[in-house]
Amino acid sequence: MAASIPVPVIGSQFMAPYPFDIVVDANLGGNLVITDTNHKIMLKVKSCDTTFHHRRVLLDVNDTPIVTLREKILSKHNRWKVFRGKSTSNSDMIFSTKQPNMIQFKTKLHVFLANKSTSKDVCDFKIKGSWSKKKCTIYTGDSYHSSTTIAQMHKTKTSKNKKFNKGKFMMTIYQNVDYAFVVALIAIVDAMKRTDDEYAEQITGSVNQVIVATS
């Protein structure tokens, strides 16, 4: 079932009364560019990693910060927090995310609104699917009485450039859904996947060095 009730997590100015598609270009080393289907830029995500934190900033077309996304240090469940503007103060937190399981073979992410009064175990939204296959769906979570689809990921048209295909995909945003919120979730999952890939490369490199040294 697609969304019908309004979902203004970051702001109602990012909602439309009809479903539409956005295009996400993730070929930019941690930065994202979000356009409409006519190639007009809608939002941007800038990678601002520090020594201690993985961090992303969601920007409007004028490069004004909308929200800051920051990973929690030493988290077993890949926790992230999202704050208004440039802030990282808990008083400005809008929502947080975490993986439901420490080890996952498919993409799963639970989202918790900052002002929720129910149990922390009850999520407000969730992401499920396969990020590598471009088949992820964002739903309302367990705090709602029924799961409602608010956005759905799918592949763009095939291009001869394989690198282009790998990093570019589309999201269908359903009516009355905050697309800035959806993009923030995309940015978090993308950052998590990049971190996992970097870690895997480090492990592979270390194993290869051992094999060379002992051969």
pLDDT at residue 100 above 50?
A: yes
Instruction: Tell me the average pLDDT across 22-32.
Output: 88
Task: Check if the beta carbon of residue 69 is closer than 8 Å to that of residue 58.
Answer: yes
Break the chain into its structural domains and give their ranges. 12-214
Which of 37-51, 103-117, 170-184 is predicted with the least confidence, judged by mean pLDDT?
Answer: 103-117
How many Å apart are CA 176 and CA 162, to the nearest integer? 34
- 12-214 in CATH: which number? 2.40.160.200
Q: Between the ranges 42-51, 137-146, 195-204, where is the mean pLDDT highest?
A: 42-51
* 1 pLDDT above the threshold of 80: no
Q: What is the pTM of this model?
A: 0.84
Phi, psi dihedrals of residue 11, rounded to the nearest 5°: 180, 145
Q: What is the pLDDT of residue 204?
A: 40
pLDDT tens per residue, range 40-73: 999 999 999 877 778 999 999 999 999 999 998 7
Of residues 208 and 137, the one with the higher pLDDT is: 137
